[in-house]
Every structure is written in structure tokens, then in C-alpha cells.
Amino acid sequence: MTRDLPDLAPLIDHALLDPLQGSEAIHRCCDEARHYGFAGVCVASRWVGEARQRLPVETQGRGTTPRLIAVVGFPFGAVPSAVKRAEAEAAAAAGADELDVVPDFGGLVDGKTSLVLDELAAICELGPPVKVILEAGRLEPEQLALLVEICIDAGARFLKSGSGFGPAVTTDQVVRLRELARGRAGVKASGGIATLEQALELVEAGATRLGTSRGVALMQALRT
């Protein structure tokens, strides 16, 4: 049977989170995202200003400029809330359109759910839409369900499966996140997306964004 292939480009957040890369790589990542029409470019907060110059705001809304995404508290979220909030503020001030935030997993494990909620809510209040990085492959089912509710209560717009520092994302994780979200948030599959077949399966499972550093390779595979 033939398979109807989705248009992957508008779903891809083109990520460059390797710390051993500089401005040249950031420029290339932005140019690739514009060339292929990716949904976004995802960079460390340190690079938001540089990427913003490469992705001029004035063309947004015309279908030509990917959204600029900054990770916050990446990759483990184990920093004081004031530091994480300051990083989010700096990223927003530098021009980030979206924030991918690592929550306070330690607070979740200790049952301090109000601290986790307050930290995320304070960042969501800054304005840019927030995706929360859940590490769905590592959390216990009860922890994952609780964290999803916290994220949605805080105002998060997306649930992101992982940071890439844990197990690779699976279709089961995407399905579960969709079930837990109940239409209240989108699902971003991220972490270890290496092949076109894997990307297509994640979209078919319900992912509405794909976070990957292999966006160019996926597009080339899609077109062959």
C-alpha cells in the first residue's frame, strides 16, 4: 500500500543545542530552517540574539521566517527558580518567540508541586508560548500524569517529550501525552529522532511538532 506522506517541514523545530558550536553554525541552522520552511529554530538562550538577527522579525507572519525558540534551564532544570526565570526573561527580551522550559524535577519527586507550578506559571506569564520538557521516558506514570496537569495549569502550550539526554522518544510516549493532554496542549516529540520512518510514525501517533537536529536529513530523505 502507498502511504500519504505529511508535509514535515512545518512541524520541525530545527535544533542546534550542541555546546561546541559557534555563531557560524547558528547562522547555518537559521538559513537551513528558512530554506526548508521549518516551524522553528531551537537554540540555547545564549544564542537568541545572534539567531534573531538572522531571522528578522519583520518577515514573520508572511510564511517565510521560522519561530525562534530558546531552551530554558536546559538540559536538567536543576537551577534555582530565580535563575531560570531570569534566563527566560533574557531570552524573551532578546527576541525568543517560544520557550522550551525544563521544569523542577526535584520538586516533583519531593512532592512540592506548588513550587513546580509557581516556577512554570511565572515563566508562562512572560508572554512567549511555553513548551515544557517532560522526560516522558524516565518519569513514572503517576509522575508524568501529575506533571502534565501542572504544566497545563501553569499555562503551557505544548508538552515536549524529552530533552534528548534521556531515552529516545517513542510513539507510545506521544500517544500517552496526547491522552493526558486531552486537547489542552500540543505534543512535541523530541529526542533521538534519527530516521524518516521514525519521524513519520511520531506524526501519525499525534505529534504536532518534532524537535530534531536532523531536520535537513529528514527533508532530503522525504524528497528521495
DSSP designation for 57: G
Domain map (residue ranges) of the chain: 9-222
Cα 20 to Cα 8: distance, rounded to the nearest angstrom: 28
Based on the residue annotation, tell me whether 100 is a catalytic residue of this protein: yes
- CATH of the domain spanning 9-222: 3.20.20.70
pLDDT, one tens digit per residue, over 67-106 is 999 999 999 999 999 999 999 999 999 999 999 999 999 9
Based on the residue annotation, tell me whether 188 is a catalytic residue of this protein: yes
Of 100, 110, 112, 131, catalytic:
100
3-state secondary structure of 152: helix
Cα 16 to Cα 47: distance, rounded to the nearest angstrom: 10
Question: In whole angstroms, how far apart are CA 180 and each of 32, 145, 148, 187?
Answer: 34, 7, 7, 10
User: With the CA atoms of 175, 177, 180 and 183 taken in that order, what torsion angle do they form, in degrees rounded to the nearest 10?
Assistant: -90
pLDDT, one tens digit per residue, over 164-222 is 998 999 999 999 999 999 999 999 999 999 999 999 999 999 999 999 999 999 999 99
pLDDT, one tens digit per residue, over 25-70 is 999 999 999 999 999 999 999 999 999 999 987 544 455 689 999 9
User: pTM for the whole thing?
Assistant: 0.94
Count of Cβ atoms closer than 10 Å to residue 18 Cβ: 9
Based on the residue annotation, tell me whether 110 is a catalytic residue of this protein: no
